[in-house]
Structure formats: C-alpha cells, structure tokens
C-alpha cells in the first residue's frame, strides 16, 4: 500500500517519500512536528505547506492533522545543508481500515499521537475518505485545493434544510458560487422553488432557461397585501411614522375592506365577514378611493377639530404615493382586484412550469420601498409554507443580507428583520429555507448567521468579519479560518452540516452564458465607447412609456436635459408640456397626439375614477393644464410687480 513503509525508506526512493517528521509535542488538540529538509530541498517543504492535511501513524489508525503554522529554529535557510522544520498542526480526526480494508474517517480521536510518532504526507485514499460524506444525494461543486484531482462535494438536503451562507469580499466570486449552488439544488430537488432577492439585477443572466424575471415593469404587488407597518413604511418614505396618522389608518383600513366586500357580496357573507373581524393586516383587497372617502368624511365632521391636520396630512401622503409613477407596481389597475392567488403563483412559481427560480430585481424599486417589499416577500414565503403543511419547498436567497438584517438593532426595518428571522428560526419545520449572501458578515445580525448550519467562507480582508466566521466554526477546526485573508478567487473554506469536515476547496467554473452579470453592463469589444442612447436613459429616469418623445429634434445631448429654473413635474399629470423650453430659448419638439396620457397618470385614473371619491384636480388635457406656466417678463406687468409698487401702508389696510 502507498506510504506503508515510509518509515523504513527515509533517504531512498522518491523525494516525496523522504520528508518524514516526528511528533515532538502534543497537547490533545494540537501537536508540533519536527522534520528535516535534506540538502536545502525546497520542493520537499512544499508538501507540508500551510493549509494541507498530513497523517500521523498511531498503531492501527492514522491521525489526520491540519498544518496551520511552520517555522525554522535556525531562522534562516541553508541551501546546501539540512534544514530543521517545525510544523504546528491541528488534530482533525482519525482514520481506521474497515472490514473491507477501506479507510473510514471519524471526527473523534481515540488514540492521541505519542512523542516520536511518524508523520508523513496523507494517502490519496485517506483524503478521499475524509471528504466522503457517505450519502448518495451529494453533488460535486468543485475540487479540493490540496489535491485538484479530488472532488469537493456537499449534501444538498442538509444544505437546504438548515440554511446556508456565502460570505466574502467584493469580487471573489460570491454570486458565481451562489449560482452554482442553486443550479445543483434545483437539479437534485425538482420540487424546490427559489426566490432570489436580487439588489443588483445580476442573477437573471445566470438562469436564462430556469427562471423568470420580476421587475418594476412586470410586478403587480397590491398595496393591500402590505401589513400596516409595511404600508406606513411606504407612505412615510422610510421615516418614522406619525402615531396619530397610523392610528387613523389602523381604524379606517378595515372599514375600507368591509366596503369593498360589501359592494359585491350578499348580506349573509357580509355578516360572516363582520364576525371575522377584519384588521388592517388582513390580506383582503380594498380601494384607495374608499379609504380617501373615509378620510374626507372624518375631515367633514364637526367634532374632532384637533384631528383634522393629521387627517389632511395623511390624505396628502396617500395621494403622493398614488401619483408617484415609481410606485405603479403597488397602485396599478390590477391591484384593485382580488389577485392574491395569481400574485403568489407568479412570484413563488406554483406551478413552476419548468422555471422554478424567481429573480426579484430590486434595483429598479425605489429605495424607500425596498424594505417593505422584502418584508412582504419573506413573510409570504413563510406563510405559504406554513399553511401548505410543508407541501411546498421554498428557498429564499437574500443577496446583500446585511441591508435587511443589520447587526445594529436600531438600524434596518423591523418587519423585514422579523420576517427573515422567522424563516431562519422556524423555516426548516415547514419546508422554507434561507440562503444568506453578504460581503460584510460583521454587519449581519449574528442570530441569522448562527442559524446557517453550512457556511462557505471566501476571502475576507476585514478582521471583524474574520472573527465572526472564526466564532462560527468548530473549535477543532478553527485554524482553518487563518487562511481567509489570502485565499484566491473562487476558493472557499466550507464547513457545517452539508460537508463531512471543514474543507478548503475551489468552486468549479460555470459556462460564460450562465455567469451572473448586471443587465446594464455593456463592454466594448474594440476598446471604443459603447453606443448609448441618452434619450432612452432619460426616458427611463422620467418613467416615460416607450412611445413618449424625449428631448429635442436636432439638439445635442445636454440641451434636452432639464434647464435650471424649469418648473417641476407634477406626478399624475402629463410629463412634458409644449412650450416649456421656449422660455429658455430652445425650440421644443412636437408632442405626439395622446402622449400626455402617460403611465404616470394611470394610478390616479385607475384608483379614483368611477368610485365614490374623485380628487379635485385639473383634468388632463384642459387648457389650464396644457398651457405653460406664466412667467413674468422684463417689460410686462404682473400681480407681483403691482404689489411691489404699492406703498406698505396700503397693503396693511
């Protein structure tokens, strides 16, 4: 057998067999090995470099040890003489030959090395036995760093059932590693449904054939699916809510929900609904028109005059959100219908129809709403798994997880933190799993990371981040984390339930067409600037439809951008007015017929028209709206000029 008689062949044969060492100290968890590199042979010392596993013979068993430090007592290297080397190793486990003479690895150690025990390079068969999980449903995700001829495998059920985390600094290949793990997961578990919270819009390119993309153009997430705290996060744009206004919402939203049900159900159903005591958090549809009508009714009452300023402020917040074109996915025409089944089916891929992955692109969603949207999605994922009695397997992958569950309890959005924490703590009981991806584990809630039983730690340069990972790994393998600051790209240290022992491995390469990449990344092949259409960019910035004319005919790029002093755009009305640029000395392009009926006006029309409530505002296309705002000129008179000419005493009267 290989290396069987290494102790009798020192100084003869293959140089790789000549580097033997002896145990000179041992404290139970670690040991020191002394070896000699003859005639200054550097190649021999490379066999025992930091991060490699070695073998120590003890009777019928072989102790596996990890090299984590090496020194030379002479403190200098002799190129033409023998050099004494000292290796500090960490004892990992023990290998014994089974009944069929195959090596079997166990994490415990029954016989510790004695002084003078022989240490040598590990056998290939022993190395395979160490990383063999012994489970048939393991998949290969890469190669071992120590021996790239050997596969690195993970157990997918253990990876999913007890959550996992991928951590590493920017540019080391986290997204590629996540794409590889998800590809292996859906191949092994066909009934798995994956929801990716993608803040950089990069995972859609990694799954062109197995995913659907949900962005602001294709998303219909009704406002009535939001709980009260999630909805107020939208209304107050991330700022703390005003208690008086939140109390009014808590009281009036259930009435609006009863009004919606009462208009289309019979009396028996209405009585049953009343007995069910609808709350502001119940996912039942209602119309914004009814809510605004209830607010107007409160404002018109004679009593409660101290409440009227808060009611008016609340009404303006709601109208601002409805008229904001960025919130169209919440207040579109489809969101006033009871589409909860269709919405959940589309987002969570039930049924999957060959595309079990849903890439939820958050880059286009307003920053004030991202926390609320993430909270709604994570909460719905848990509730679907809960009420299906474990019939649906869902994996929620949170990219940049430290944004949603930061370590500081005073930061972040509390409902989002609660929703993700609930999945981490209770999700495995109901079939919903969590995948955490972050470049700053030190800024992530330690409770969330502690619930991830499998961790893939890629290169981390920050000391605080390394300490977090070091505290999560088992004490018997803590020296493994000493390499975190220097490992290469695509390389990781994997430890936890899904792997037999902590292993240093390198992820396999995936095809170029399946690499995660941002949708907007354009690279020039010939070194020249890629051709860009600035008008299209401005069109997207202004939330204009594809048929809307942007810019000026024949004008250069900077001329069609908003000029200083131009009037601001009123959300909900047309976005361009003929003649707006004439005051700046620039000729405007003709506006196509009907172009002022834009997407921005749709929320107001769909939610308010044809109901009991109608907002008082200039109608679209009216002369007051179509005319450009009047501006005083140097030779003309205006009301402001006339007031300035009057004496102050006359104004006081």
Tens digit of each residue's pLDDT (9 = 90 or more) over 554-611? 444 444 344 444 443 333 333 333 334 333 333 334 444 444 443 333 444 444 443 4
Q: Which residue has the higher pLDDT, 227 or 568?
A: 227
Q: Is the pLDDT of residue 300 over 70?
A: yes
Q: Say how far apart CA 123 and CA 540 lie, in whole Å.
A: 61
Contact indicator for 562, 575 with CB cutoff of 8 Å: no
> In percent, how much of the chain has pLDDT > 70?
72
| Predicted confidence (pLDDT) per residue in 139-149, tens digit | 999 999 888 88
Q: Say how far apart CA 202 and CA 610 lie, in whole Å.
A: 41
How does DSSP classify residue 637? Answer: -
Model-wide pTM > 0.75 = no
Tell me what pLDDT residue 185 has.
Answer: 93
Tell me what pLDDT residue 165 has.
Answer: 94
Torsion (CA) 222, 224, 229, 232 in degrees, nearest 10: 70
Q: Confidence band (pLDDT; 50, 70, 90) for 13? A: very low
Q: Confidence band (pLDDT; 50, 70, 90) for 461? A: confident
Work out whether strand 53-58 and strand 393-399 pair parallel, antiparallel, or are unpaired.
unpaired
Q: Say how far apart CA 161 and CA 152 lie, in whole Å.
A: 20
Lowest mean pLDDT among 203-212, 265-274, 305-314, 548-557: 265-274
Q: Mean pLDDT highest for which of 116-125, 175-184, 543-552?
A: 175-184
Tell me what pLDDT residue 39 has.
Answer: 75
Cα end-to-end distance, the chain, whole Å = 113
- Which residues have a Cβ under 8 Å from the Cβ of 103 and sit 6 or more positions away? 95, 96, 97, 123, 125, 126, 129
Tell me what pLDDT residue 23 has.
Answer: 93
Q: Confidence band (pLDDT; 50, 70, 90) for 359? A: very high
Half-sphere exposure of 376 (CA within 13 A, CB side): 29
- Which residues have a Cβ under 8 Å from the Cβ of 146 and sit 6 or more positions away? 51, 52, 53, 127, 504
Instruction: Report helix, strand or coil for 607.
Output: helix
Beta bridge partners of 140: 153
Tell me what pLDDT residue 610 has.
Answer: 37
Q: Say how far apart CA 545 and CA 561 lie, in whole Å.
A: 18
Q: Is the pLDDT of residue 272 over 50?
A: no
> In percent, how much of the chain has pLDDT > 90?
24
Q: Say how far apart CA 80 and CA 89 lie, in whole Å.
A: 27
Q: DSSP of 231-299, one letter per residue?
A: HHHHHTTTSPPPHHHHHHHHHHHHHHHHHHHHTTS-HHHHHHHHHT---TTS-----HHHHHHHHHHHH
Element (H or E) spanning 69, and its range?
A: strand 61-71
Q: Is the pLDDT of residue 408 over 90?
A: no
Instruction: From residue 652, give the alpha-carbon distance in Å to each of 287, 638, 641, 642.
Output: 48, 20, 17, 15
- CA torsion sign for 252, 257, 260, 266 is negative
Task: Determine how many CB atoms are found less than 10 A away from the CB of residue 268.
Answer: 8
């Amino acid at each position: 057998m290989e290396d069987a008689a290494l102790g009798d062949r020192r100084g003869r044969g293959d140089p790789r067999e000549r580097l033997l060492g002896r145990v000179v100290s041992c404290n139970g968890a670690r040991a020191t090995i002394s070896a000699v590199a003859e005639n200054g042979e550097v190649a021999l010392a490379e066999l025992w470099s930091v991060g490699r596993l070695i073998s120590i013979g003890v009777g019928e068993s072989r102790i596996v040890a990890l090299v984590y430090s090496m020194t030379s007592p002479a403190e200098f290297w002799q190129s033409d003489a023998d050099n004494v080397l000292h290796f500090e190793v960490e004892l990992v486990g023990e290998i014994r030959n089974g009944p069929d003479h195959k090596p079997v690895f166990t994490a415990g150690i029954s016989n510790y090395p004695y002084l003078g025990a022989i240490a040598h390079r590990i056998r290939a068969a022993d190395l395979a036995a160490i990383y063999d999980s012994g489970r048939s449903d393991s998949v290969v995700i890469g190669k071992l760093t120590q021996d790239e001829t050997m596969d690195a495998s993970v157990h997918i059920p253990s990876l999913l059932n007890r959550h996992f985390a991928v951590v590493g600094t920017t540019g080391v290949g986290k997204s590629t590693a996540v794409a590889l793990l998800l590809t292996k997961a859906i191949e092994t578990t066909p009934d798995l449904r994956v929801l990716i919270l993608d803040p950089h819009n990069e995972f859609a390119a990694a799954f062109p054939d197995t995913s659907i993309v949900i962005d602001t153009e294709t998303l219909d997430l009704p406002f009535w699916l939001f709980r009260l705290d999630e909805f107020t996060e939208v209304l107050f744009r991330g700022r703390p809510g005003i208690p008086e206004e939140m109390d009014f919402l808590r009281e009036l939203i259930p009435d609006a929900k009863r009004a919606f049900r009462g208009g289309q159900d019979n009396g028996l159903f209405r009585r049953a609904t009343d007995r069910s005591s609808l709350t502001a958090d119940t996912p039942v549809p209602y119309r914004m028109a009814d809510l605004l009508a209830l607010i107007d009714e409160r404002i018109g009452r004679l009593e409660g005059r101290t409440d009227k300023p808060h009611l008016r402020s609340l009404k303006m917040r709601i109208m601002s959100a409805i008229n904001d074109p960025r919130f169209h996915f919440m207040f579109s025409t489809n969101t006033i219908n009871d589409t909860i089944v269709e919405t959940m089916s589309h987002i969570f891929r039930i049924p999957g129809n060959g595309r079990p992955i849903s890439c939820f692109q958050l880059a286009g969603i307003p920053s004030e709403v991202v926390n609320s949207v993430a909270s709604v999605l994570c909460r719905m994922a848990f509730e679907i798994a809960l009420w299906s009695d474990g019939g649906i397997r869902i994996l929620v992958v949170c990219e940049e997880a430290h944004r949603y569950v930061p370590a500081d309890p005073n930061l972040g959005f509390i409902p989002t933190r609660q929703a993700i924490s609930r999945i981490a703590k209770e999700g495995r009981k109901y079939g919903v799993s969590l995948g955490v991806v972050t470049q700053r584990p030190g800024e992530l809630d330690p409770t969330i990371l502690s619930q991830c039983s499998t961790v893939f730690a890629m290169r981390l340069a920050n000391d605080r981040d390394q300490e977090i990972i070091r505290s999560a790994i088992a004490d018997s393998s803590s020296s493994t984390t000493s390499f975190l600051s220097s490992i290469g790209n695509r390389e990781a240290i994997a430890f936890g339930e899904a792997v037999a022992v902590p292993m240093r491995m390198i992820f396999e390469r995936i095809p170029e067409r399946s690499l995660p990449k941002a949708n907007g990344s354009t690279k020039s092949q010939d070194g020249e600037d890629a051709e860009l259409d600035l008008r299209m960019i401005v069109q997207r910035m202004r939330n204009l439809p594809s048929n809307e004319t942007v810019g000026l005919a024949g004008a250069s790029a900077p001329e069609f951008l908003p000029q200083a002093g131009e009037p601001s755009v009123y959300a909900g009305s047309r976005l361009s007015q003929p003649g707006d640029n004439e005051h700046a000395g620039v000729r405007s392009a003709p506006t196509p017929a009907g172009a002022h009926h834009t997407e921005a006006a749709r929320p107001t029309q769909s939610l308010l028209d044809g109901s009991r409530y109608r907002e008082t505002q200039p109608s679209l296309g009216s002369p007051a709206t179509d005319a450009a705002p009047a501006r005083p000129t140097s030779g003309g008179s205006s009301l402001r000029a006339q007031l300035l000419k009057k004496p102050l005493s006359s104004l006081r009267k």
